[in-house]
Amino acid sequence: MKRFLFSILLAAAVSPLFAQFYHPGEELFYRVSYKAKMFPNTEVGAVEIRTSEERSDGRNFYKVEGIGRTLPTYRWFYNLEDIYTVWIDNQTLRPIRFVSDLREGDYTFQSYYTYLWPDSTVHTRWRSRQRPFQEKNMALTNESMDAISLFFNLRSAEAEDFRVNEVGTLQMILQDTIKHIHYRYLGRENKKIRNMGRFRTLKFECQLGTTEGYSFTDGTIFTIWISDDRNKIPLYIESPVKIGSIQAYISGFKGLKYPLESRIR
């Protein structure tokens, strides 16, 4: 399981519109598996995303934590624990601060983002292992966000607003650069999720691009199925790797804001 797939899961959705999707008490649980031609579909990791409320310096915030871990059976081979946390102003619904703490085998990485919206800038600090921090200020647009903020911001679009084969671009802040996420809506599809049943979904093809151009040729492509209801929960993600593919799929949930009406009884 690579850090890239976890970033995909957190950034999984498809519209730059703001809406009230931060719901304290919501918890989403995912399993991550690897599949190859001569290798069975094997669960190797888990991801949890939790939302709560927090008050600091006289202000109220939504706090969202995303945690990715290797399952105990595979920790002897590759021990991973990635923790992402973001604080959101509950009035403007804009991210204020973002922290990531990544531990993968003997590799560690830390990053901190401070959003300065009045100046339309973001200050980032990052380092790997125990090296000195590097820092950078970058210009912000309304569409520039960390992966977790995108995850929630993108759950706000109405299904009727999408058009089949319609394309668009989002911007994700990564340390010293802005990565472009291109997406294309492929339409509605009923999708079976392991141990969870069948769901009505909205299907998208996405690319974490290396350029601003839209080509689906110069970056990593992945496919995502999102629940076709008011929650807009990412239900299933599949991404090819050099040998085989990696999948992430929902395994449980708590405290949803709306009923999960996309589940087919």
Reported as a single tens digit per residue, the pLDDT across 5-43 is: 455 454 443 223 233 467 889 899 999 887 777 667 788
CA 210 → CA 124, 142, 213, 224, 240, distances in Å?
Answer: 20, 21, 9, 20, 17
Domain spans of the chain, in order of start? 3-255
- Tally the C-alpha atoms within 13 A of residue 70's C-alpha that lie toward its C-beta: 17
Residue 231: the pLDDT is 86
Closest CA to 7 of 93, 68, 88: 68
The C-alpha angle 161, 260, 87, rounded to 5 degrees, equals 75
Lowest mean pLDDT among 18-22, 107-111, 200-204: 18-22
Where helices occur in the chain by DSSP H, the ranges are 3-10, 147-153
Q: How far apart are the first and last CA of the chain?
A: 32
Gyration radius of the chain's alpha carbons: 18
pLDDT at residue 239, as a whole number: 80
Question: Would you say 224 and 203 are in contact if contact means Cβ atoms under 8 Å apart?
Answer: yes
Task: With cut-offs at 50, 70 and 90, classify the pLDDT of residue 261.
Answer: very high
**SS3 at position 155:** helix
> Cα–Cα–Cα angle for 208, 227, 47, nearest 5°?
60
Pair type for strands 144-145 and 134-139: unpaired
Beta strands in the chain (DSSP E): 27-36, 39-56, 59-70, 80-89, 95-104, 107-116, 121-128, 134-139, 144-145, 167-174, 177-193, 197-209, 220-227, 234-240, 245-254, 263-264
Pairing of strands 134-139, 95-104: unpaired
Burial class (CB in 10 A: 0-12, 13-18, 19+), 202: buried
Residue 264 predicted with pLDDT over 90: yes
pLDDT at site 163: 79
Q: Which one of 3.40.50, 2.40.360, 1.10.10, 1.10.3470 gives the CATH number of domain 3-255?
A: 2.40.360
How do residues 129-187 score in pLDDT, each as one tens digit? 888 999 999 888 776 665 555 555 555 566 667 778 877 777 777 767 777 777 788 99
pTM of the model: 0.83
| Cβ proximity of 167 and 182 under 8 Å | yes
